[in-house]
Structure 1
């Protein structure tokens, strides 16, 4: 049994920000991350560019210098890695938390490596690990992916990209430019309004000129090894297909939150209950930080507007640690 005062779950940017607040105060803490450092960022597409400028991704006023107006994935990985290593943050990687239970005034936390007894817990696990499924026949076929890394494997292939968010649009454009035959299937009537402003005209123009075909107000009904069946406003269509890249979004691990005792709203949005002034959940001593606070509305919280969570949590802990 390992004992510490504070356990932070998740070593993404917000988890790192929470660790920095603990480090400045000389508190005993441990960060547990089930994957690589900033695991969600690591799993982003190789050529991804952030919507935010670098100064809005900074944590604890540590400068983030980028070669571009908006930093890319590799620059962000380098920045957060340097922040973690130069501050010698106490982070255990590839250690997954499987259970949290509160007994009296202590939390008993179980991971895949050991057990912990702690006074306070911060959950900053993000949302990128659980994709929103299409729930259609054939979704489990090897040719279907809910994540996108790079375009090269899709060159000279018939590829369907599902969705019209930033990730879907970036994938569609990049695959097309690398020689893929791209078709987009979009549930709504247009490309998403939140798509990066410098990318949205590009995808609209490619669709209008016919370089990328798009079915709007449409949904996939079935995926077969060599075809995809689509429901469109004009009826059902069957098109040839080699790969499906279903980028329909992701969601936090709500089951994990409930198991820890956090109350979720019953309106379908699964908003977790917490005090916005302190970030403490309905479980005394258990705090939430980052995008996980938004329930299914994963666009509500992101790095630049949830950096403040770390300071709010630390200031509240100071009064009752």
Structure 2
């Protein structure tokens, strides 16, 4: 069996960037990706626009040409998948990594299709796979969606949007403009400060004029077939008619996978242990890259500020 220099788990932008850096330094590598190239981006809402400019989303110095100041999902897919084609990235798609174990100096990586040996492993799996569940009765009903793609299925429907971050605000505005009767349930006292600056006034004005109903400091109690039950900031319980619930409550890294790989997790946010200058975890030669480094704090790392992880990791590997 071939022994790789590096096996990369996850074919998102940062995983691709790690592959490009390995390629430039003549290291043998392979990306294992459970879906398509930049799979998380593929599953983003169809009309999503990034907070960052194209310049800050580019990898390996390859220009990202966008027709708008803020690139959208399709432009990002074209860019990152185009790089994978042009640079002939060594990547296996629709193959899931099941287990990473280490014997002496080598890692054995078991996947849904095969087994591999590698001297080093980089985990760059992001956080978009596991919804942050509310753990309330009725959350598993078919009308409850933890992922939002486009507004058209919700025309003329009574929609409850849970959350106040970018995904919740986008879902509320888009479904409202396609004819939905929208109610937002927000557990904080206002719209999140992290909402895109050109969108935040829009949602606040729609709430102020009454086009979108909003309850702040709200607490979900249960979801019924035709209603939702929640408590408002004054402790009053409400039950309102409802057709769909868009639970935009965020997403989490696969902590079980990290633990099973031997990585220590610390604190309430389950922050993975890694060296900030090399990105090496407590397991020698096992590295983290990208959003997964933040644990539950999924707003800590993103493409713009984690592109540097590739050079840090490959530099560490070469130094050994």
Compare 230-239 and 300-309 and name the one that shifted more: 230-239
In the other structure, the counterpart of 1:115 is 115
Which residue does 1:258 correspond to in 2? 259
Partner of 1:9: 9
SS at match of 1:245: strand
Instruction: Sort the Cα spacing of 1:2 and 1:161 in 2 relative to 1 into closer, same or farther, 3 A.
Output: farther
Q: CA deviation at 1:3?
A: 3.2
Residue 86 of structure 2 is aligned to residue 93 of structure 1: no
**Structure 1 counterpart of 2:30:** 30
Q: Which residue of 2 aligns with 1:42?
A: 42
Equivalent residue, structure 1, for 2:131: 131
Q: Is the 8 A contact 1:2 1:115 kept in 2?
A: no
SS in 1 for 2:272: coil
SS at match of 1:50: coil
> What does 1:180-195 align with in structure 2 at a 5 Å threshold?
180-195=180-195
Matched ranges for 1:99-178 at <5 A: 99-178=99-178
Task: List per-residue Cα deviations over 1:165-191 (Å, max 9, x = no partner).
Answer: 000000000000011110000000100
CA distance in structure 2 between the partners assigned to 1:142 and 1:201 by the alignment? 32
How far off is 1:153 after superposition?
0.2
Equivalent in the alignment of 2:240: 239
CA distance in structure 2 between the aligned counterparts of 1:201 and 1:287, rounded to whole angstroms: 40
Q: Distance between the aligned counterparts of 1:3 and 1:316, measured in 2? A: 19
What is the SS of the residue equivalent to 1:122? strand
User: Is residue 2:59 matched to residue 1:59?
Assistant: yes
CA distances 1:48-67 after superposition (whole Å, capped 9, x unpaired): 00000000000010000000
SS at match of 2:153: helix
Give SS of 1:169's match: helix
Structure 2 counterpart SS, 1:52: coil
Is the contact between residue 280 and residue 287 of structure 1 (CA under 8 Å) also seen in structure 2? yes
> Following TM superposition, where does structure 1 have runs of at least 4 consecutive aligned residues deviating by more than 4 angstroms?
none
Where in structure 2 are the equivalents of 1:278-293 lying within 5 Å?
A: 278-293=278-293
SS in 2 for 1:7: strand
Taking the TM superposition and a 5 Å limit, the aligned residue runs for 1:73-92 are 73-92=73-92
Per-residue CA deviation, residues 135-188 of structure 1 (Å, 9 max, x unaligned), is 100000000010000000000000000000000000000000011110000000
Question: Does the CA-based 8 Å contact 1:126-1:292 persist in structure 2?
Answer: yes
Matches of 1:5 and 1:115 in 2, distance apart?
Answer: 15
- Counterpart contact for 1:2–1:114, Cα < 8 Å: no
Per-residue CA deviation, residues 293-315 of structure 1 (Å, 9 max, x unaligned), is: 11111000000000000000011
Shift of 1:131: 0.7
Once the two structures are TM-superposed, the CA of residue 105 in structure 1 deviates from its matched residue by: 0.5
Q: Offset at 1:2?
A: 5.0
Paired with 2:114 and 2:61, the residues of 1 have a C-alpha distance of 34
Over the aligned positions, Cα root-mean-square deviation in angstroms equals 0.7
Where 1:214 maps in the other structure, the secondary structure is strand
TM-score scaled by structure 2?
0.99
CA distance in 2, matches of 1:233, 1:263: 38
Query: What TM-score do you get using the length of structure 1 for normalisation?
Result: 0.98
C-alpha distance in 2 between matches for 1:47 and 1:15: 24
Unaligned stretches of 5+ in structure 1?
A: none
